[in-house]
Chain A
């Protein structure tokens, strides 16, 4: 008897997507620190690319500003560029290139200038890497005209997401929760024995996770891809232990945020993210949703985020700061109480 084929890991999925994107389009380049073989990148996401695609895949010096700028230069000249920032925290070193060059150039010359540039940012904690290697800095890149903020999820096809990002002609950051790399992709609409999902209607659209045949929910959780497993765990416990029925919406595009016509079906809404409290993505999502949901919301949208804190290195201290499944579960229970 043959064993059932398991879904690929997110890291394998993303690596395959990069291989496919480079194979399909000779204009695509990949730049990043230590991305060449045999090392293949700090998280092995670029493994095999330099062996197969030669100079189109370059290991770079430690120079986030220059490599994002060089990617923008390639894009300006008619190529397409994917830049890997080894840890999302270091995207701060390239902020000028993102804020003042790549994103502004799409519009500040009075006409659309395509800038097919995707900056990949392995993000998030729960690995004990400490304060400068564990952040989820997505919120710092929200609200930049011309700049898209995307996040990898275990539901969305990575190749489609990359190609769609290039086609949009505006630079994008793609955040990738490092813990997600080791998890497996979901497929065929099945999450587990309880939950099913509807695939997105477009590569960067919203995935809806719920219980088959159910349309009314106690709560709709909205969470980016890196939070999806924790949200699912919370939903399972809420259903089995508290009889609270939740659905989950997972967007691949955090900014500009758009539910794409999918309205939350819960009587309450909770937005969960792993960035620190204050000026958050969740606040942006809530602001976008209030005008739409005002008439039927019984209480304010609940925002779940990490503590307003740096992220300690010691695992037991790090746990105090970041969002867990139980953080979401308690927030939903408290809101519905």
Chain B
């Protein structure tokens, strides 16, 4: 069994001063860097495995969006219930990095899989994390879960991740309406990566997410930064208000998808891909924390390589039809 490397606790890293460019990054916790790099190398490994014909079906990587769940991670509590979707590996690994072997086994259909290989990449349920493969489907469910959590009275919330493409689904609006009417402690996290499978957002969405949220009278935040410290500073108060006041909040992250939607299905031009890669957290953090980053990067690259080898060698998952 491959063990998850754990960075020793130490003070946050301070960024080195770089040449003029994007705004300077705030301090970075080693544990955050670990999570970022685990997800990056995990997703890269999946694309490699696909290329080698070792994964069946389909899978959707979150390359370029890893910082979103990592930034949110300390703002979420153990008893918060997270609903994820088809692009959910990063959401899961940010919360449960120690379960990376079980997630990979789930995706590869091997023994030790989180859901016995039934769910695969898109349908994972572990403790207070659940993902489903149908866009928009989990938002009404999250409202029901939020009501349940509010009634329990411990201040837990339901967090639901959505992509920009999901705003075409009617269920989203039904759920936002219910959440607003019923004061559901619901945190909606939108990862707007500018493209829904192959359709650019501007061809799939009239108006804006902010405008749509405003129509329900709900609080809304827009986050453009990839700086974990800055994102947390901005969202800590609003997320605390979701718990305290049991009122919904929609946070839109402006992000980028570096990889294809699933596997070889990227129709973007080289120029579009170059623009998507600009400002990737990976390059920026590598530049700001050169030594610590390089060391951690090597550690996690090696960890994921070992993990792939170990999980690949496992026998197939067992499940009884029921």
Contacts and interface: CB of A to CB of B under 8 A. Distances in A.
Secondary structure class of chain A's binding surface, majority of residues: helix
Nearest to A64: B174
Pick the most buried of A66, A76, A105, A113: most chain B CB atoms within 10 A of its CB: A66
Given A65-B140, A110-B114, A101 B134 contact: yes
A66 B177 contact: yes
Contact of A76 (B114, B137, B144, B170): B144
B147 A70 contact: yes
A58 interface: yes
A154 B193 CA distance: 55
B169 to A, nearest CB: 9
Contacts of B140: 63, 65-70, 72-73, 97
Contacts of A79: 148
Contacts of B139: 66, 69
B143 A69 contact: yes
A76 B81 CA distance: 11
Contacts of B231: none
Interface string A68-92: 1111111111110100000000000
Contacts of B142: 73
A262 to B, nearest CB: 26
Nearest to B181: A61
A73 B134 contact: no
A66 B81 contact: no
A66 B144 CA distance: 9
Contact of B147 (A63, A73, A104, A107): A73
Contacts of A97: 137, 140-141
A110 B148 contact: no
Contact of A63 (B138, B145, B146, B178): B178
B115 A110 contact: yes
A77 B149 contact: yes
A76 B118 contact: no
B123 A109 contact: yes
A68 B177 CA distance: 14
Specify which of A58, A67, A76, A109 lies most central, judged by the most chain B CB atoms within 10 Å of its CB.
A109
Interface of B: 81, 113-119, 123-125, 130, 132-134, 137-149, 158, 170-171, 174-175, 177-178, 181-182, 319, 322
A110 B120 CA distance: 10
A111 interface: yes
Contacts of A74: 144-145, 147-148
Contacts of A67: 140, 178
B312 to A, nearest CB: 20
A65 B174 contact: yes
B132 A73 contact: no
Contacts of B144: 69-77, 81
Contact of A77 (B118, B124, B148, B322): B148
Given A67-B140, A69-B171, A100-B132, 20 more contacts: A58-B182, A61-B174, A61-B177, A65-B174, A66-B177, A67-B178, A69-B137, A72-B140, A73-B143, A74-B144, A74-B145, A81-B144, A96-B134, A101-B141, A105-B132, A108-B118, A108-B119, A109-B124, A109-B130, A113-B125
A81 B116 CA distance: 28
Contacts of B181: 61
Identify which of B138, B140, B146, B174 gathers the most chain A CB atoms within 10 Å of its CB.
B140
A75 B182 CA distance: 17
Given A74-B148, A110-B114, A66 B123 contact: no
